[in-house]
Structure 1
Amino acid sequence: MDQHPSESGAGFAGLGLRPELLAALTNLGYEEPTPIQQEAIPPLVAGNDLVGQAATGTGKTAAFALPVLQRLTVGSRDTAPTSLVLVPTRELAEQVSQAVHRYGRDLGVRVLPVYGGQPIGRQLQALQRGVDVVVGTPGRVLDHIERATLRLSEVRTVVLDEADEMLDMGFAEDIEAILAETPEGRQTVLFSATMPPRIDSIARRHLREPVRITMGRKSLASDELPLVRQSAYIVARAHKPAALGRILDVEAPTAAIVFCRTREEVDQVTETLNGRGYRAEALHGGMSQDQRDRVMGRLRGGSTELLVATDVAARGLDVEQLTHVINFNVPTAPEAYVHRIGRVGRAGREGSAITLAEPREQRMLKAIERLTRQRITLEKLPTVTDLRARRMEVTRTALQASLEADDLERFRVVLDSLTDEFDVENIALAAVKLLHEAAGGDREEDEIPSPVAPPVSRTPQDRDKRQGGRPTRSSASVARLFFGIGRRAGLRPQDLVGAIAGESGLSAREIGAIQITDRFSLVEVPEPAADMVIAAMQRSTIRGRRPTVRRERVGR
């Protein structure tokens, strides 16, 4: 169902959500549903099972979280949860838990993330006090079930989020065991970026006549696409504001639109850019028409160089001098990406489309490439050295423009008063220094750390070459890590994959061959990520233990 958000203006209010949720969405700055939310929320609110094919970044967390909260009994103090969300990694468990808490704050929702690596005592205390929604990784949820500290007999809704990722991590048996502990009459929701046969098999066994939704499968004709330079930077969420500022410093756009998802994000990004010295203006649905008109007037008049906007607020805008469109997040639907970048590719004008993507959002970039049949080049973030060189070039260009203007005579009195004491060359250097500093050229910058390398692309033939249930790689590109835990502790391959992916952020697809013996295990990981994995695993537990983790010693 390749649709865009509703044009009716009803927004979230037209989806039958309770007033507390609508108020929370308004306060968070969400202006209207994304396509997956528009399609998924009504059948979920009605109690249907659902299978949704949608990539990360499409807004699917709200698509299942809002219906879960819709069914929440306000004021209930039962200790057993009524909803369970299973996710593949610790990071996603935290993200989903935070989102549910934000949406359901006015309802007093009690939500608990459970995952490996966190002290289990804290989770036990919260479960004893009572929770409404549990968001967890399969391994830790099953651990609580086996300890009899988590009862699922009252669960009314189960959500399997990123189902294909969980299966890739070896959690299929755990998921089956967990579902067996839930009531037969529950509502079951499954979201997955891809739909391999094994996902469809789970849906057939555990879902009852589910509504099926598939987002973003259409292709566009070449004449529908703008001719612009398309690039993306892979950046961790925490470093996005700094990365945006650095990219703008290097790109130096004449005029640009920075697209954000929510009003709140628009305001935050606008404040950050103004603090960096840019003339940035916010544009979102919370502004009156007069305010919007004044902002657009300043942009077209050149007194504003950056417009930070939501999709809704930017509809219909056409700015003649626009040179850049920047996606602060990967757009919620591939079609939205095409609409955005079309603003700089009209009538033969040159332009650039730049996207900041989190490591988990690379699937969405691939979906956009399939839709547009155009390549999005992955670029490396400018370093501090690159930034300094660019600022020095800006200073040189400003000086050249001043020299060509030929209106310098009135400053000769200053020069004459200094030449008796100082060399003319040193006077010129001091003037350049003052100009450079006044333009912020010596502003201190910290290097932005690179996220974990993206998953290695594999062909179908590569996927057939498996050892111990994991893909193999050439020894030149991998490091073998020693884990001081083995079969005697009940260790399974999925325990290692889940722990490494959950604690280090490494994708399950990047973890290579696994060898488990009675007392220890060996795991292949990409060489560039080896030290990061070791550091992360030294702070975590596996099967209730904290094993020694180090590089394999030669000769073992």
Structure 2
Amino acid sequence: MDENPLDAADAEAGFAGLGLRPELLRALTNLGYEEPTPIQQGAIPPLVAGHDLVGQAATGTGKTAAFALPVLHGLSTGSRDGGPAALVLVPTRELAEQVSQAVHRYGRDLGVRVLPVYGGQPIGRQLQALQRGVDVVVGTPGRVLDHITRETLRLGDVRTVVLDEADEMLDMGFAEDIEAILAETPAERQTVLFSATMPPRIDSIARRHLREPVRITMGRETTAPGDMPRVRQSAYVVARPHKPAALGRILDVEAPSAAIVFCRTREEVDQVTETLNGRGYRAEALHGGMSQDQRDRVMGRLRGGSTELLVATDVAARGLDVEQLTHVINFNVPAAPEAYVHRIGRVGRAGREGSAITLAEPREQRMLKAIERLTGQRITLEKLPTVTDLRARRLELTRAALQASLETDDLERFRVVIDSLTDEFDVENVALAAVKLLHEAAGGDVDEEEIPSAALPPRGRDPQDRDSRDSRRGGGGRDNPAAAGVARLFFGIGRRAGLRPQDLVGAIAGESGLSSREIGAIQITDRFALVEVPEPAADMVIAAMQRSTIRGRRPTVRRERYAR
């Protein structure tokens, strides 16, 4: 029985306690946010009060809302003239888009004007938006600095600057760009810094640019080894646009008898439920926007077997104890490692077998590692099932259905059909035709496109490794990259064009979605550069960079042609 009902009024009250304006509370309720995450509870009140803040929080903890909501709360009402009131610096194009979309959703009722600026996008569109006026600019350091140099972006009216994923920006070589950008903003601004790690160089930035900041570190609960459920834990790395298709394919292969799919918000719960039902599953939504009677009916159908998948938020799933659960699936990496432990504790009880599956975006590896550190157990990284794998699985399910029928059903009444057909056809062909009809009735062969693979940073690589740092400064590479599982790419641009290692790292990470930690040795000559990337991601990087510019140029990008 679900012992913790939560309705929309409770959800709004949770955020209302943080002092946010009514327009933002309405937006959060409409988006299905049920309660603040720990980083939001800790960060929003001091930011609303105007304090500077340093927050140590990994991807997936809700930190975008933690800084975006106070920024929107502080926007003046009515006509807003002048330059942007807030600037958010992020390391990659992908994150710029995500943060910009989030700010737009939260500030819809405020009429907020938000603009993402990054390389690879036509600059003319950005120039037009800046001329019309914007309230919040979300951008990568390189493109923001480019606009400052062109005098198309003036930061004299900025009241808040956010450095999101600051450690990642420093790893990508943006330290000088960040310093130059901050120099263009008012000294009395509010400055917010979020980082997954806090190395000395991050602390140095905080000391130079923040005034008596509030410091927040995501807490870590301790979990005794004996408290961990004994379940098979795995993860699939999937780009965000392909996650719904990937979820459906994983469920097709796993074929759970009863499973919970965890999502972050009510809106996401509804979207995932609709997708799964469209794929032929019996899926039910469970979230705080439902009445207790509705929730009880959903749980009754799950326990009775008429529903096989429950799609829920953490809050709505509190207190659930469904004995027949075989799978827990995280549609996103949980907001905190402790939440992961609580989720997967719903399977693998009393000696039963269970599976915990997580869909992770490429940039969320840090969160997976944090979960492994807390649990002391490894999460196996799996390869997404291919169309061939899915076809083989469906044939296996057809075979299993036939075997069950042969073992338990009364088949004698169908003998007259076989006898009449075998007068004209071979008995084996009759059996094949029957199998074909059964297979098609169960869904038939898969007619889907392959899901593109998403590269993941190699586990165990130390981002502070000396060879990695030296190579970023332009040192030589390894003689045989293929032996190390990497590909060496040729870029037709070099020192004569002012190329720096950080230009390459920033461009590749920003345009291809590859993490900066996946980029290996970089060698720059007068006329060209060589960059090592993981072999499985090489073609993806080439395709992305052929559509992009570096230092205002669109260089030739291809695999290096070896002379030996």
Above 0.5 in TM-score?
Answer: yes
Residues 87, 136 of structure 2: 8 Å contact kept: yes
- Specify which of 533, 542, 545 is matched with residue 534 of structure 1: 542
1:555 shift after superposition: 4.9
- Specify which of 7, 32, 35 is matched with residue 32 of structure 1: 35
1:243 counterpart SS class: helix
Does residue 353 of the first structure (1) align with residue 356 of the second (2)?
yes
Does residue 551 of the first structure (1) align with residue 559 of the second (2)?
yes
1:200 counterpart SS class: helix
Does residue 330 of the first structure (1) align with residue 333 of the second (2)?
yes
Residues 79, 128 of structure 1: 8 Å contact kept: no
Q: Which residue identity lines up with residue 318 of structure 2 in the other structure?
A: R
Q: Which residue identity lines up with residue 401 of structure 1 in the other structure?
A: A
| Superimposed CA distance per residue, residues 257-276 of structure 1 (whole angstroms, 9 cap, x where no aligned partner) | 01111111111111111111
Name the CA distance, whole Å, in 2 between partners of 1:491 and 1:63. Answer: 36
Name the CA distance, whole Å, in 1 between partners of 2:159 and 2:69. Answer: 14
In structure 2, relative to structure 1, the CA distance for the partners of 1:460 and 1:394 (3 Å cut) is: closer
1:217 shift after superposition: 3.1
- Specify which of 116, 120, 124 is matched with residue 119 of structure 2: 116
Name the CA distance, whole Å, in 2 between partners of 1:210 and 1:201. Answer: 13
1:22 counterpart SS class: helix
1:447 matched to which residue of 2? 450
1:486 matched to which residue of 2? 494
1:254 shift after superposition: 1.3
Name the CA distance, whole Å, in 2 between partners of 1:349 and 1:182. Answer: 59
Q: Which residue identity lines up with residue 248 of structure 2 in the other structure?
A: G
1:519 matched to which residue of 2? 527
Name the CA distance, whole Å, in 2 between partners of 1:229 and 1:478. Answer: 30
Q: Which residue identity lines up with residue 480 of structure 1 in the other structure?
A: R
1:74 shift after superposition: 2.2
1:522 shift after superposition: 2.6
Name the CA distance, whole Å, in 2 between partners of 1:77 and 1:345. Answer: 56
Q: Which residue identity lines up with residue 460 of structure 2 in the other structure?
A: S
Q: Bigger CA drift: 460-469 or 518-527? A: 460-469
Residues 145, 177 of structure 2: 8 Å contact kept: yes
1:499 matched to which residue of 2? 507
| Superimposed CA distance per residue, residues 138-157 of structure 1 (whole angstroms, 9 cap, x where no aligned partner) | 01111111111111111000
2:397 matched to which residue of 1? 394
1:540 shift after superposition: 1.1
Query: Alignment RMSD, CA only?
Result: 2.0
1:275 matched to which residue of 2? 278
Does residue 475 of the first structure (1) align with residue 481 of the second (2)?
yes
1:538 shift after superposition: 1.5
Residues 80, 154 of structure 1: 8 Å contact kept: yes
Does residue 145 of the first structure (1) align with residue 148 of the second (2)?
yes
1:3 matched to which residue of 2? none
2:24 matched to which residue of 1? 21
1:15 counterpart SS class: coil
In structure 2, relative to structure 1, the CA distance for the partners of 1:416 and 1:34 (3 Å cut) is: same
2:161 counterpart SS class: strand
Q: Which residue identity lines up with residue 554 of structure 2 in the other structure?
A: R
| Superimposed CA distance per residue, residues 409-450 of structure 1 (whole angstroms, 9 cap, x where no aligned partner) | 222333333232222222222111111110013231222111
Residues 391, 446 of structure 2: 8 Å contact kept: no
Q: Bigger CA drift: 286-295 or 426-435? A: 426-435
Give the count of matched residue pairs: 551
In structure 2, relative to structure 1, the CA distance for the partners of 1:363 and 1:216 (3 Å cut) is: farther
Residues 79, 129 of structure 1: 8 Å contact kept: no
1:464 shift after superposition: 5.2
Residues 216, 335 of structure 1: 8 Å contact kept: no
Name the CA distance, whole Å, in 2 between partners of 1:303 and 1:75. Answer: 52
Name the CA distance, whole Å, in 2 between partners of 1:80 and 1:202. Answer: 25
Q: Which blocks of at least 5 consecutive residues in structure 2 are unaligned?
A: 1-5
Does residue 128 of the first structure (1) align with residue 131 of the second (2)?
yes
Q: Bigger CA drift: 211-220 or 34-43? A: 211-220
2:79 matched to which residue of 1? 76
The aligned runs of 1:76-475 (5 Å cut-off) are 76-455=79-458, 457-459=460-462, 462-463=465-466, 466-469=469-472, 475=481
Q: Which residue identity lines up with residue 176 of structure 1 in the other structure?
A: E
Name the CA distance, whole Å, in 1 between partners of 2:387 and 2:543. Answer: 26
2:56 matched to which residue of 1? 53
Name the CA distance, whole Å, in 2 between partners of 1:460 and 1:429. Answer: 56
Name the CA distance, whole Å, in 1 between partners of 2:538 and 2:467. Answer: 25
Q: Which residue identity lines up with residue 386 of structure 2 in the other structure?
A: T
Name the CA distance, whole Å, in 2 between partners of 1:516 and 1:354. Answer: 42
Residues 74, 108 of structure 1: 8 Å contact kept: no
In structure 2, relative to structure 1, the CA distance for the partners of 1:391 and 1:51 (3 Å cut) is: same
Q: Which residue identity lines up with residue 68 of structure 1 in the other structure?
A: V
Name the CA distance, whole Å, in 1 between partners of 2:267 and 2:382. Answer: 28
Name the CA distance, whole Å, in 2 between partners of 1:269 and 1:460. Answer: 35
Name the CA distance, whole Å, in 1 between partners of 2:101 and 2:24. Answer: 15
Question: Normalised by the size of structure 1, how large is the TM-score?
Answer: 0.95
2:3 matched to which residue of 1? none
2:223 counterpart SS class: coil
2:388 counterpart SS class: helix
In structure 2, relative to structure 1, the CA distance for the partners of 1:349 and 1:195 (3 Å cut) is: same
Name the CA distance, whole Å, in 2 between partners of 1:93 and 1:465. Answer: 26
In structure 2, relative to structure 1, the CA distance for the partners of 1:210 and 1:125 (3 Å cut) is: same
Name the CA distance, whole Å, in 2 between partners of 1:287 and 1:338. Answer: 26
| Superimposed CA distance per residue, residues 199-233 of structure 1 (whole angstroms, 9 cap, x where no aligned partner) | 01101111111111111433311122111111111
Name the CA distance, whole Å, in 1 between partners of 2:81 and 2:468. Answer: 49
1:456 shift after superposition: 5.4
Q: Which blocks of at least 5 consecutive residues in structure 1 are unaligned?
A: 1-5
Name the CA distance, whole Å, in 2 between partners of 1:432 and 1:515. Answer: 59
Task: Give aligned-pair identity as a percent.
Answer: 89
Residues 36, 63 of structure 1: 8 Å contact kept: yes
1:465 shift after superposition: 5.7
Name the CA distance, whole Å, in 2 between partners of 1:540 and 1:211. Answer: 39
Question: Normalised by the size of structure 2, how large is the TM-score?
Answer: 0.94
| Superimposed CA distance per residue, residues 518-554 of structure 1 (whole angstroms, 9 cap, x where no aligned partner) | 3333322223322222221111111222222223344
1:112 counterpart SS class: strand
| Superimposed CA distance per residue, residues 343-401 of structure 1 (whole angstroms, 9 cap, x where no aligned partner) | 01222221111111111111110011111111111111112222112111111111111
Name the CA distance, whole Å, in 2 between partners of 1:461 and 1:246. Answer: 37
